[in-house]
Chain A
Amino acid sequence: MKLNTPASPHVHGDTTVRKMMLRVLLALIPAIIAYSWFFGWGLLINATIAVVTALGCEYLMLKLRERPVNFFLTDGSVVVTAVLLAFCIPPLAPWWLTVLGAAFAVIVAKHLYGGLGYNPFNPAMAGYVVLLISFPRDMSIWLPPFILSELDFSLPATLNAVFLGVFPTGYTLDALSAATPLDLIKTQLSIDVTIAETKSAHAIFGDFGGIGWEWIGNWIFLGGVWLIYKKVISWHIPAAVLGSLFTVALIFYLKDADHYASPMFHVFSGAAMLGAFFIATDPVSAATTPMGRIVYGIGIGILTYVIRVWGGYPDGIGFAVLLMNLAAPTIDYYTQPRVYGHKRS
């Protein structure tokens, strides 16, 4: 019997970029549903705008760079970028804000650096940070969860608000909006109101974080754990991000509970969960060695806490991820694992 042995490798993994990206999107679905349940249609509309813009920009850049269009356009990476960006944009933000962010993410942060696999920064976070520092006012208008507000935002009303800037009669955007829990605690602390007083005076706080926010956090956590189980991401980065954020927050909480929020609050507020599982784990811009991933994650956790507590912005995940993206090559360089049969270099 003739045995035809092909060249190695003989066993193939079944992961492709497209499959990975599809799984990431699948893992985000529970969080998207929870978000829409609490905050209305805004996220879905933002995500649609962002995906359409991102696909358009991707097509344009691939054409300009003379790369195979179909191959890259269908790999799904740009859709993940767009959806993650949509998560960071307030639900009633005007449409051009989302378009600008998605276009910047794809054109500047991704393709000017060489496209998928070459971008030193996480494109979604680059787009988000550009919006945050360019349009601080538009980017800080968040809605309270619907259980707390008497107004129910239907789909047509949301579309009107996003595309035309028209709000239901009797309401203005400023009147509708509410500070996020992180923002509220920060501004109240700056006028010497302790955290316990803030929490009892405002109804937006739940068990850990804010009402609504903490539930979205839960669903993101579940999606993230499923991703780890499916081996799309490794456990190192999420564990290091959340662990270090928790630990630093715990130290300060134990020292002075009036002025430093509880560790659970920090972990379940803002973009901590989303950042730990979906943003920091971007395989292109994160550190790649196991030890390096832990250092990278710890860096993000600590920086996030520093920016949240002492910085100028209520949340710091975006800046923390970009800063650690910068450090990732150096971290990788110093944490190379020993190759079997070689001495540690």
Chain B
Amino acid sequence: MTSVRTIVYDGLWKNNQALVALLGLCPLMAVTATAINGLGLGIATMSALILTNAVVALIRNHLKTEVRIPMFVLIIASVVTVIELLMNAYLHELYRVLGIFVPLIVTNCTVIGRAEAFASKRSVHHSMLDGLFMGLGFTIVLLLLGAFREALGYGTIFRQAELMFGDAARHMVITLADDFDGFLLAILPPGAFMGLAVLIAVKKIIDKRILQGQRIIKVQNVQRVTGSNAPDIL
């Protein structure tokens, strides 16, 4: 049975939609030139995931299997339209920066993927949790990639924070290097590919370290069977 712990672990790490499933890479690469853009789109995607997962899970017993995909798309499109209108109203500047990528959340494979693979089979609250943590995992990757590219490309982190948090957030900008020309490659498309590759590589290294640690523990537990300790082990 799905436990809350597995949902959290799957969403944030084991089945991270950006680093492992490699879904939704188009917006991921296109908007992450700055950390704030990444965060904005990440949160929008996360809200879409939570809401669509909830709705799909609610109606899962009434869905005809043959038409479930069009139904998912309809639900996702309605939810994303709501989010888009809300962003247009309350985060207008950020909405203008993100441009086409907010409505394009409709086509983000993560959203339809979770609806099909998870929400159409599980209870409402588990589905919402799954949406939350899948979305959170995706948002963290967007934020990390955005911060990485922004630091190399502009020498700052959280520039234009006012787009998201209002004028009070202007002091959030962390300037790493004054008078920095900028490594343009990082904020151009190749930087997105390389940055994502670096993140995936780092995740693999960490996974490998964890695996090695587990192996050592397992090896330590192996004992040789001899005449004297055989009754204890066998």
Q: Chain A residues in contact with chain B, CB under 8 A?
A: 108, 130, 133-138
Q: Mark B153-184, 1 if CB is under 8 A from A, else 0.
A: 00000000000000000000000000001011
Q: Could you tell me the distance between the alpha carbons of A240 and B161 in the complex, rounded to whole angstroms?
A: 53
Nearest 3 pairs of A and B residues by beta carbon: A134-B185, A134-B184, A134-B183
Q: Could you tell me the distance between the alpha carbons of A136 and B185 in the complex, rounded to whole angstroms?
A: 11
Q: Is the interface of A mostly helix, strand, loop or mixed?
A: helix
Q: Chain B residues in contact with chain A, CB under 8 A?
A: 181, 183-186, 188, 194
A100 closest partner in B (C-beta): B183
Interfacial chain B residues near A138, Cβ < 8 Å: 181
Q: Could you tell me the distance between the alpha carbons of A108 and B191 in the complex, rounded to whole angstroms?
A: 13
CB distance from B152 to the nearest CB of A (A): 10
Quick one: which of A108, A130, A135 contacts B181, CB cutoff 8 A?
Answer: A135
Interfacial chain B residues near A135, Cβ < 8 Å: 181, 183-184
Interfacial chain B residues near A134, Cβ < 8 Å: 183-186, 188
Interfacial chain B residues near A130, Cβ < 8 Å: 185
CB distance from B151 to the nearest CB of A (A): 14
List 5 additional contacts besides A133-B188, A135-B183; criterion CB under 8 Å.
A130-B185, A134-B184, A134-B186, A135-B184, A136-B184
What are 7 inter-chain pairs, A to B, with CB distance below 8 A?
A: A133-B184, A134-B183, A134-B184, A134-B186, A135-B181, A136-B184, A138-B181
CB distance from B56 to the nearest CB of A (A): 41
CB distance from A192 to the nearest CB of B (A): 30
Interfacial chain A residues near B185, Cβ < 8 Å: 130, 133-134
CB distance from B178 to the nearest CB of A (A): 16
Interfacial chain B residues near A108, Cβ < 8 Å: 194
Interfacial chain A residues near B194, Cβ < 8 Å: 108
Q: Could you tell me the distance between the alpha carbons of A137 and B183 in the complex, rounded to whole angstroms?
A: 12
CB distance from B139 to the nearest CB of A (A): 28
Q: Could you tell me the distance between the alpha carbons of A343 and B75 in the complex, rounded to whole angstroms?
A: 59
Interfacial chain A residues near B184, Cβ < 8 Å: 133-136
CB distance from B62 to the nearest CB of A (A): 51
Interfacial chain A residues near B188, Cβ < 8 Å: 133-134
Q: Could you tell me the distance between the alpha carbons of A134 and B184 in the complex, rounded to whole angstroms?
A: 4
CB distance from A218 to the nearest CB of B (A): 34
Q: Could you tell me the distance between the alpha carbons of A130 and B181 in the complex, rounded to whole angstroms?
A: 15
CB distance from A318 to the nearest CB of B (A): 14
Q: Could you tell me the distance between the alpha carbons of A217 and B188 in the complex, rounded to whole angstroms?
A: 33
Q: Could you tell me the distance between the alpha carbons of A133 and B190 in the complex, rounded to whole angstroms?
A: 10
B191 closest partner in A (C-beta): A134
Q: Could you tell me the distance between the alpha carbons of A82 and B100 in the complex, rounded to whole angstroms?
A: 43
CB distance from B26 to the nearest CB of A (A): 22
Interfacial chain A residues near B181, Cβ < 8 Å: 135, 137-138
Q: Could you tell me the distance between the alpha carbons of A136 and B186 in the complex, rounded to whole angstroms?
A: 14
Q: Could you tell me the distance between the alpha carbons of A62 and B184 in the complex, rounded to whole angstroms?
A: 29
B194 closest partner in A (C-beta): A108
Q: Could you tell me the distance between the alpha carbons of A136 and B188 in the complex, rounded to whole angstroms?
A: 13
CB distance from B200 to the nearest CB of A (A): 13
Q: Could you tell me the distance between the alpha carbons of A134 and B188 in the complex, rounded to whole angstroms?
A: 9
CB distance from A111 to the nearest CB of B (A): 14
CB distance from A309 to the nearest CB of B (A): 24
